[in-house]
Structure 1
Amino acid sequence: MDSSIFTSIQSFNFLMFVLFTLLYSYRFVYMFIAFRMKGRKRSVEHGNKLNKYAVIIAARNEELVIGELIRSIKEQKYPEEYVDIFVVADNCTDQTVQVAKEGGAIVRERFNKTRIGKGYALDYIYKIIEKEYSFKNYDGYFVFDADNVLEENYIMEMNKTFNQGYRVITSYRNSKNFGQNWISAGYSLWFLHESEYLNLPRMTLNSSCAISGTGFLVSTDLIRDNGGWIHHLLTEDIEFSIDHIMKGEKIGYCKKAIFYDEQPVTLKQSWNQRLRWAKGFYQVFLRYGNNLTRQIFQGKGNRFSCYDMMMTIMPALLISCISMVVNTCFYLTAIILEKSEIATVTNQALFESFIGYYGLLCLIGLITTLTEWKNIHCSGPKKVSYVFTFPIFMFTYIPIAVVALFKKVSWKPISHTEVKALEDIR
């Protein structure tokens, strides 16, 4: 019996390792490509047409931070007459409307206690723009969260990529408060990794990228074809990405378009936000999983992009969690049966699994930190120390992923208080 339990432990852990490696091995290829791209200049021909844009900001009680975003848009090195700023004050009870108007934005208020979420706010303001400002003939819509701040060349660089023919473009996501604590640093490192080690290789391989909540541009034609913003799951960004990738759309990435956003700093805030993300990923998986799988095997030209998106929404952390749960069950069984040697083996397997995942995540954090060193705005010692806390931040996704399976989750606003201008961030 001891021998059979021991063999079962070994076989299960080996199977989980092989499964995880096979599913996500392409991500290591991504990292290799991204690493080789560092320092190289992409010689891409593009037109110099100046397109007209509407900037959309969905705000919920953002009186503290929205002013700096509007100011950074107004200070863009792009003709001001080609950019209009629209703010949808969504169920606001503070001075967001007044601050946005004083900054020079066109503001509309929305009050709806049943249709709650960013997707509904985007659809609301889009339809107002189409009805009242159609004469402006906007070529595209920028979407930002109220806590964002843009580098002065942001719109110009996005415009260059837009002129290459992409109808959806995401950008380089940096953070206003990287060095505040290990939680904000964990978020920040992941978003930097996502920008340069996921979206950059996708762009290099002529595959499709994915938008990430904020800091993206969408063609007016695409939104008009959809009849507005039609994606309303808890993670409307990944839902939007997958829906359009399955339709053959190729999402671009502009690494020279840099913006900053504020990351949560408390475990409670972070838990609530990532619980919504985890639940949203499950929603997207349930709604699009079958069609996405069909596209992987039967699609034309976008099979790999569909596979990539499947691996993005597939609950990888649950794979790790299942592994830990099964090993823990082996461990408890051994204790109940008073089989100390089996408990020792299981305990060792759990420890080795933890060390392996910790080391892998440390490597990802280290490579990202080293290559993006100049873009990370905090002290050198903090940059180094947060490499070692990055795996801990990622491990906290495991209980979040489990709770999200069973808990009803609704959209809740995240409080933003980090008031920084561009020069303060630098």
Structure 2
Amino acid sequence: MTVLLTLIQAVFYGLAIYLAWNCCYLLFFAVAGLRKIKPIQQEPAVYRKICVLIPAYRESAVILETSKAALHHYYHGTFDVFVIADGLDPETIVKLQAQYANVIQVSFDRSTKGKALLAAMQELSAHSYDIAVVLDVDNIMGINFLNEVNRAFDAGYSVVQAHRTAKNTGTSFAFLDACNEEINNHIYRKGHFAIGLSAALIGSGMAFDFAYFKRLLEGIGETVGEDKELDFRIAKDQVKICYLDQVYVYDEKIETAQVFTQQRTRWIAAQVEFMKKFALEGFRQLLQHGNLEFFNKTLQAFLVPRMLLIGILCLLFLQSWVNPYGLPPVFWGVLLAMLATALLLSLPARLYQDKRFLKAVLRLPYALFCMCLALLRIKKAKKSFLPTPHKAATSPAIIN
């Protein structure tokens, strides 16, 4: 009996250390993100030629508006828009070409965004462009997006991540997703960049030196988390990722529980994939090469998804009132307070002051249930791309 009780205590203390590290990590970078990032102000010496790549997987209903908005974007230099068409209707391709968008048609037994980007880059000449910009099929570039990207490259960066933000918040799930996006921006991009680390890539609204991007995509494989794979590859090269906090790309947020679950299934599957793949490599990079960036990316792969972290801490806090073993309620209460502080610091005031915020918070238990479902379905992500369906129309106020 004594051995069993000792084992139970050890499990609780091990869990406490792990969850405390999660909360400390999030709170540290939430506080770091309060530092202002000075925008790059120097005038560019040259306006580089840019290709805007938009992978479109069976999104005929959305891509026409996205392509049109991209083609109408204002840039001082020269840029071309390339739609990577995977499973688009023939009439949609004709309409895209009528808009003067370039269309690169691809087809795979198992489609992934990484493979589509690699196929497109292999078709383009190595000397055709200076910068490759990646957008999702629902993304709209904010005002001066390409000009500011060019400015960052002129300042010496070769990888840039812009501030992706919501273009729709009409439902509770869309509002929650918008909040989640901004928290990620604050902690993993602004917070890291503010203290001299690389910002994390987010999958779209990102720009690369053209030749470097072509090399990064080699052997990208069938991963469902191509942005994380690129993150690790860039960190291994010790190349700094710039974050443009005031440069926006607008992204459609998910509006239903079903789509939320599908999207999170893909995200969790990607996190598990890279946790297994780079766990030992992270320590090797740190100890043998002093590569803190790579080690930090590895640490991020071991963080509990925030929605699950909230649920786990609440459950542990409640059980501690009736369970005589483990840690007291005050410990779990402090961790909950740390997590709540990190999230509130990371959330723009305009969101938690919004009257819809309380309504969205009341949906958290259901969102947590969806996250649990996503955990149970991660094997499904290995068999299917699980793309996020889109339906939001372009807002004329965003087109520039």
TM-score w.r.t. structure 2 length? 0.85
State the one-letter code of the partner of 1:67. L
Does residue 366 of structure 1 match 2:344? yes
Deviations 1:398-421 (A, max 9, x none): 452354269854212322111122
Query: Partner of 1:339 in structure 2?
Result: none
Decide which structure has the larger Cα Rg and report it. Answer: 1
How is 1:198-347 mapped onto 2 (pairs within 5 angstroms)?
Answer: 198-226=188-216, 228=218, 230-300=220-290, 302-303=291-292, 305-314=293-302, 316-317=304-305, 344-345=322-323
Deviations 1:54-102 (A, max 9, x none): 00010022233223322332333313x5110001111224643234223
CA distance in 1, matches of 2:372, 2:85: 34
What runs of 5+ residues in structure 2 fail to find an aligned partner? none
- The CA RMSD measured in Å over matched residues stands at 3.8
What SS is found at the alignment partner of 2:73?
coil
What SS is found at the alignment partner of 1:307?
helix
Does residue 122 of structure 1 match 2:117? yes
Distance change >3 Å, CA 171–CA 237, structure 1 → 2: same
What SS is found at the alignment partner of 2:230?
helix
Query: Partner of 1:82 in structure 2?
Result: 78
Distance change >3 Å, CA 227–CA 261, structure 1 → 2: closer
What SS is found at the alignment partner of 2:181?
helix
Distance change >3 Å, CA 163–CA 231, structure 1 → 2: farther
What SS is found at the alignment partner of 2:384?
coil
TM-score w.r.t. structure 1 length? 0.80
Deviations 1:172-201 (A, max 9, x none): 0111222x2232222221211122232112
CA distance in 2, matches of 1:315, 1:362: 16
State the one-letter code of the partner of 1:139. D
Q: Which structure shows the higher helix fraction?
A: 1
CA distance in 1, matches of 2:52, 2:382: 33
Distance change >3 Å, CA 214–CA 280, structure 1 → 2: same
CA distance in 2, matches of 1:389, 1:36: 31
What SS is found at the alignment partner of 1:260?
strand
Identity of aligned residues (%): 20
CA distance in 2, matches of 1:176, 1:88: 23
Does residue 415 of structure 1 match 2:389? yes
Residue 240 of structure 1 and its aligned partner are, at CA, apart by 0.9
Distance change >3 Å, CA 284–CA 152, structure 1 → 2: same
State the one-letter code of the partner of 1:29. F
State the one-letter code of the partner of 1:124. A
What runs of 5+ residues in structure 1 fail to find an aligned partner? 332-341
CA distance in 2, matches of 1:403, 1:353: 32
What SS is found at the alignment partner of 2:54?
strand
Structure with more relative contact order (C-alpha pairs < 8 Å, separation 6 or more): 2
State the one-letter code of the partner of 2:71. K
Alignment check: 8 A CA contact 1:182 1:393 kept = no
Instruction: Give the number of aligned pairs.
Output: 398
Alignment check: 8 A CA contact 2:97 2:103 kept = yes
CA distance in 1, matches of 2:310, 2:340: 19
What SS is found at the alignment partner of 1:152?
coil
Aligned match for 2:103, one of 107, 110, 113:
107
Query: Partner of 1:183 in structure 2?
Result: 173
How is 1:339-358 mapped onto 2 (pairs within 5 angstroms)?
Answer: 344-345=322-323
Distance change >3 Å, CA 309–CA 391, structure 1 → 2: farther
Query: Quick check: 257-266 or 282-291, which moved more?
Result: 282-291
Residue 9 of structure 1 and its aligned partner are, at CA, apart by 5.2
How is 1:31-110 mapped onto 2 (pairs within 5 angstroms)?
Answer: 31-37=30-36, 41-42=38-39, 45=42, 47-79=44-76, 82-93=78-89, 95-110=91-106
State the one-letter code of the partner of 1:397. M
